[in-house]
């Protein structure tokens, strides 16, 4: 039945109006369903959306076996099947395009939407039984993918665990199957369910409905909001809204609590269950699962996502930053679901199941060299870690291999005795030094996943990172613990030092790391994790959008250690001074001494030349790691070096700038401070920390080449680099290739390439590029057959005839002019050759496709205020480049990312330049 648009009357089921935005009237149908439970003996009429007829018109009849399967979509409270109109439309579009055809059946639950109003009180077990009766009446066959939101998520999961023979996958939008004891339910639900408020807010008025619709981010269009309201125009149509709120099982005394517990246990079983398609396979595979989440939801927040992730650890998860409760309205969930189905449900087919990485017999975990040094009498009492940041007038803190290994073992055993298990997440808010080193290796040793987001992200960025990863524990120093308490970060809190009782109580701290170590003294350790187990989540700088959590396995971290050690020839006698946080913890894994200079690691520009020299003196280290921003200040403070300082720096044999490429002038300035060191500037990113490398000699050689950009050398070890050419619109659409001279996006492959992004499944998919299987050499020949993982870096550049990689900017900073795409770094280098220019950024202004290039410069001396450059500077800048510059602007300081203080924020500058040239009042970018 597809006709009709009558206004619904109390009790009767009906069809929705024909003119609701985005809703094809042909999808609507009414289904008579034999009653079950409290409805026994009474047929009930349901309204649903069903794309079966639309698919048949597209040439995919439901009964012919042409379907990939059916998506059974279940709404929550107080929405209706209109919530799923986008996935219905997307399923029809995909079928018409010849893609796998998924029938969408989106129900209106009884008492809701345009389904029948029975006036009966429906509990959770009744609603699960209702849905089963509906699918029986529809004669729905497998494979079925359940899709649920809000309380529809719980009900859809109840159907899923009761129909394993039909189930192909589960997909969830913000929902929950468990609420921890002793924690109040979310405030909006407490308020709506309060005595004296429930009926008034949910039934007598539209308050609950209005509040829910107001959660959309961005706000719903007025006609869409009206469509959601349409079935609930009078109090007698809103009884189901109140019924749903009243049925929230807040504790074990509630009548629906046992059913919720049953569903919660059943969901955990889905994580290990073999689905029907693979029932005859020797391997038992989990049912594929997808979670699309709005983290700004005040009701079903990240707490509930984390619980579901624990129950379905294999699930693909994507958190849409900024999205809220109505995530299906806020973000493009429909194509995400269907694209995921093409990939994920197809992975578990009739022939087998999801492939698992083989065990690597060569795997050596990070902590093994530490244990070896501690167990060897000749080295056990040698220094392993030096902390220079011990306070004015105090000697550096030294920790031996024996002490470090004992501390790691005790903390590891103590954490395990506390109940920390493999896969639990531990957020580390501790500055680099002996304490962080011990805690990190202790967590790794027992299989806990360390979450590392440094303070350089700022309070807002740290909050987003910590809440997004939802750790089980937070181990931090006072400042981090104070932020955790004030901002409501999740996790049991452990302090890095023993605190007075009043301070510990105020910060919500349960133990100190010393307490944990005391608890673990003499206690056994659990089995060690393997190479395929997740080990760490490292957050990106946030310079290209919200910081992303990058997941590394134990095998990948060990591969990173190995490529670093092999490439630089690091031995037990080498010694490292590490002023760059990601590498500050690798010393013990390499079996060599490491020292952290006296600096604020969240502000690299606080590092001075004297502090570096002091760390080298204390450690007699042969290698120094620094970030580009730190290098800038080290060079600028070199005049303070004493004769002894310079003598110490002269003993350094290798210097690395890590975090962003730096140019020849800065490398030469560092070489004057460390005259016997070979300066390196490796290229990499959080997702693959070491990709390519170049020395000062290589930079000098590249300077004579006609190429533009920053040359970062050739790939290290087994690493590989290809380039995907840009099209005329500035998009990287070309097949990745080693062909020289092609401007495009850089894609990389390496043994230590990340596993995935944490709870950003769609971002991870977008960052993966299909490339030829096997190793692709400079001539394009494939020399090994196994497939490889490739990562789209977002950087643009080109390879030259010698296989060297040149970086020319970020893909989002490409200026698409009338003549085609323009990369910014080459023109910036030309502009920086002007005498008065310290640093430059070239950005675009105007409409896409017709952008004009503008130079924004820092000058020497610094400009006192931002604005148009004077005529003399403008002429000098324009004389450096053949690029037609629409304008030259000056700023006291170019804006950079919050962590490295080195990557220029060109997007921000472009918006600022547009405003300035449009006549806005001068202001800082």
Sign of CA dihedral 70, 76, 79, 83: negative
The domain defined by 28-184+260-347 carries CATH number 3.40.50.1820: yes
CB-count burial class (<10 Å; 0-12, 13-18, 19+) for 62? middle
| C-alpha distances out from residue 78 to 27, 203, 242, 597, 641, Å | 21, 11, 9, 57, 69
Under 8 Å between Cβ of 494 and 469: no
Where does 814-917 sit in CATH, by number?
A: 3.30.300.30
The domain segmentation of the chain, as residue ranges, is 28-184+260-347, 369-380+402-529, 683-779+789-812, 814-917
Q: How far apart are CA 747 and CA 767, in angstroms?
A: 9
Q: What is the pLDDT of residue 7?
A: 46
For the chain, helix (H) and strand (E) counts, in that order, are 31, 36
pTM over 0.85: yes
Specify the pLDDT at position 541. 76
User: In the chain, what's the furthest Cα-to-Cα distance?
Assistant: 97
Token pair 């080498």: residue: 574
- Determine which helix (DSSP H) or strand (DSSP E) holds 906, and give its type and residue range: helix 906-917
Low-confidence stretches of the chain (pLDDT < 50) are 1-9, 274-283, 347-358, 772-786, 898-901
Q: Give pLDDT, residue 348.
A: 38
B/e letters for 500-514, b = 16+ CB within 10 Å, e = fewer, are eeeebeebebebbbb
Helix (H) or strand (E) holding 266: helix 257-270
Strands 289-293 and 549-553: unpaired
> Which DSSP string do the residues of 851-876 spell out, in sequence order?
-EEEEEEEESSPPSS-EEPPHHHHHH
Query: Looking at residue 352, what is its pLDDT?
Result: 33
Residue 30: which H helix or E strand, with range? strand 28-34
Residues 6+ apart with CB under 8 A from 460: none
Give strand pairing partners of 291.
172, 317
683-779+789-812 matches 28-184+260-347 in CATH topology: no
What lies within 8 Å, CB to CB, of 377 at 6+ separation is none
Distance CA 537, CA 15 (A): 49
Total Cβ atoms within 10 A of residue 180: 8
| HEC assignment per residue over 755-796 | CEECCEHHHHHHCECCCCCCCECCCCCECCCCCCCCEEEEEE
CATH assignment of 369-380+402-529?
A: 3.40.50.980
- The reported pLDDT for the residue numbered 763 is 94
The reported pLDDT for the residue numbered 277 is: 38
Give the tokens for residue 900.
Answer: 């490295």
Structure confidence by residue, pLDDT tens digits, 72-126: 999 999 999 999 999 999 999 999 998 989 999 999 999 999 999 999 999 999 9
Architecture of domain 683-779+789-812: Roll (2.30)
Question: What count of other Cβ atoms lies within 10 Å of the Cβ of residue 422?
Answer: 16
* β-strand pairing of 449-452 with 534-539: parallel
The string of pLDDT tens digits covering residues 226-236 is 999 999 999 99
Q: Cα–Cα–Cα angle for 789, 794, 796, nearest 5°?
A: 110
Residue 799 in 3-state DSSP?
strand
Determine the pLDDT at residue 782.
Answer: 39
Whole-angstrom Cα distance, residue 149 to residue 319? 15
Name 45's Cβ contacts closer than 8 Å, sequence gap at least 6.
Answer: 12, 13, 30, 31, 32, 33, 115, 116
Q: Which two tokens stand for residue 298?
A: 């005040």
For residues 328 and 150, the answer to whether their CB atoms sit within 8 Å is no
CB of 680 within 8 A of CB of 710? no
CA distances from 512 to 241, 418, 436, 453 (A): 47, 12, 13, 20
């Amino acid at each position: 039945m597809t006709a009709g648009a009558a206004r619904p009357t109390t009790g009767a089921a009906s069809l929705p109006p024909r003119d609701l935005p985005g809703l094809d009237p042909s999808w609507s149908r009414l289904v008579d369903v034999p009653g079950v439970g409290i409805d026994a003996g009474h047929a009930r009429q349901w309204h649903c959306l069903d794309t079966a007829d639309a698919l048949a018109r597209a040439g995919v009849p439901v009964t012919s076996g042409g379907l990939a399967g059916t998506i059974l979509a279940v709404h929550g409270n107080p929405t209706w099947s209109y919530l799923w109109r986008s996935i219905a439309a997307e399923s029809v579009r995909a079928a018409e395009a010849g893609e796998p055809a998924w029938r969408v059946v989106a129900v209106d639950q009884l008492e809701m939407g345009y389904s029948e109003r029975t006036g009966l009180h429906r509990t959770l077990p009744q609603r699960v039984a209702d849905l089963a009766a509906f699918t029986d009446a529809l004669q729905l066959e497998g494979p079925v993918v359940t899709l649920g939101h809000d309380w529809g998520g719980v009900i859809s999961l109840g159907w899923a665990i009761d129909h394993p023979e039909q189930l192909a996958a589960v997909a969830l939008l913000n929902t929950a199957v468990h609420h921890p004891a002793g924690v109040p339910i979310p405030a909006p639900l407490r308020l709506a369910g309060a005595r004296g408020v429930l009926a008034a807010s949910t039934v007598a008025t539209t308050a609950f409905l209005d509040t829910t619709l107001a959660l959309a981010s961005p706000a719903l269009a007025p006609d869409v909001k009206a469509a959601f309201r349409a079935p609930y125009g009078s109090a007698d149509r809103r009884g189901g809204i109140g019924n749903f709120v009243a049925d929230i099982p807040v504790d074990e005394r509630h009548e629906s609590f046992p059913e919720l517990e049953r569903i919660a246990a059943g969901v955990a079983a889905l994580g290990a269950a073999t689905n029907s398609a693979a029932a005859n396979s020797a391997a038992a595979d989990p049912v594929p699962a997808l979670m699309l989440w709005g983290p700004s939801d005040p009701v079903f927040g990240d707490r509930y996502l984390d619980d579901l992730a624990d129950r379905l650890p294999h699930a693909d998860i994507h958190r849409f930053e900024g999205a809220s409760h109505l995530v299906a309205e806020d973000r493009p969930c429909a194509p995400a679901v269907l694209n995921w189905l093409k990939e994920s449900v197809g992975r578990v087919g009739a022939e087998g199941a999801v492939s698992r990485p083989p065990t690597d017999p060569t795997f050596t975990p990070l902590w093994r060299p530490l244990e070896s040094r501690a167990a060897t009498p000749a080295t056990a009492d040698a220094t392993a870690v030096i902390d220079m940041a011990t306070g004015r007038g105090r000697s550096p803190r030294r920790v031996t291999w024996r002490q470090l290994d004992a501390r790691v073992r005790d903390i590891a055993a103590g954490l395990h005795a506390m109940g920390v298990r493999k896969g639990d997440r531990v957020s580390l808010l501790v500055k680099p030094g002996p304490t962080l080193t011990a805690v990190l290796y202790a967590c790794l040793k027992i299989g806990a996943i360390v979450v590392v987001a440094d303070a350089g992200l700022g309070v807002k960025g740290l909050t987003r990172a910590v809440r997004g990863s939802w750790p089980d524990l937070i181990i931090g120093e006072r400042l981090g613990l104070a932020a955790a308490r004030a901002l409501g970060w999740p996790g049991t809190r452990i302090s890095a030092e023993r605190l007075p009782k009043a301070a510990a109580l105020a910060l919500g701290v349960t133990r100190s790391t010393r307490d944990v170590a005391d608890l673990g003294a003499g206690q056994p350790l659990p089995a060690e994790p393997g190479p395929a187990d997740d080990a760490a989540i490292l957050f990106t700088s946030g310079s290209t959008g919200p910081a992303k959590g990058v997941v590394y396995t134990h095998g990948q971290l060990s591969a990173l250690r190995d490529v670093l050690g092999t490439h630089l020839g690091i031995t037990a006698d080498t010694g490292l001074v590490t002023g760059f946080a990601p590498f500050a913890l690798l010393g013990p894994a390499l079996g060599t001494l490491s020292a952290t200079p006296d600096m604020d690691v969240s502000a690299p520009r606080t590092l001075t030349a004297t502090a570096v020299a002091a760390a080298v003196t204390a450690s007699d280290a042969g290698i120094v790691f620094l970030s580009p921003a730190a290098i800038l200040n080290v060079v600028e403070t070199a005049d303070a070096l004493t004769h002894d300082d310079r003598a110490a720096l002269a003993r350094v044999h290798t210097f690395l700038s890590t975090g962003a490429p730096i140019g020849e002038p800065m490398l030469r300035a560092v070489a004057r401070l460390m005259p016997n060191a070979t300066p390196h500037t490796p290229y990499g990113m959080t997702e693959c920390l070491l990709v390519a490398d170049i020395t000062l000699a290589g930079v000098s050689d590249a300077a004579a080449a006609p190429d533009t950009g920053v040359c970062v050398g050739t790939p290290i070890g087994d690493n590989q680099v290809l380039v995907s050419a840009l099209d005329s619109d500035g998009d990287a659409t070309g097949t990745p290739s080693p062909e020289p001279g092609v401007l495009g996006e850089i894609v990389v492959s390496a043994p230590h390439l990340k596993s995935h992004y944490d709870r950003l499944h769609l971002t991870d998919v977008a960052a993966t590029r299909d490339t030829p299987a096997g190793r692709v050499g400079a001539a394009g020949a494939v020399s090994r057959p196994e497939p490889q993982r490739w990562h789209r870096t977002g950087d643009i550049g080109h390879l030259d005839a010698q296989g060297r990689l040149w970086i020319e900017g970020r893909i989002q900073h490409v200026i698409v002019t009338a003549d085609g795409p323009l990369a910014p770094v080459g023109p910036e280098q030309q502009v920086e050759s002007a005498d008065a220019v310290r640093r430059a950024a070239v950005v675009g202004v105007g409409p896409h496709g017709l952008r004009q290039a503008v130079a924004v410069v820092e000058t020497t001396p610094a400009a006192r205020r931002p604005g148009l450059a004077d005529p003399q500077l403008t002429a000098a800048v324009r004389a450096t480049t053949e690029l037609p510059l629409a304008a030259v602007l000056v700023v006291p300081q170019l804006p950079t990312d919050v962590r490295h203080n080195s990557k220029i924020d060109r997007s921000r500058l472009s918006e600022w330049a547009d405003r300035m040239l449009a006549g806005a009042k001068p202001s800082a970018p």
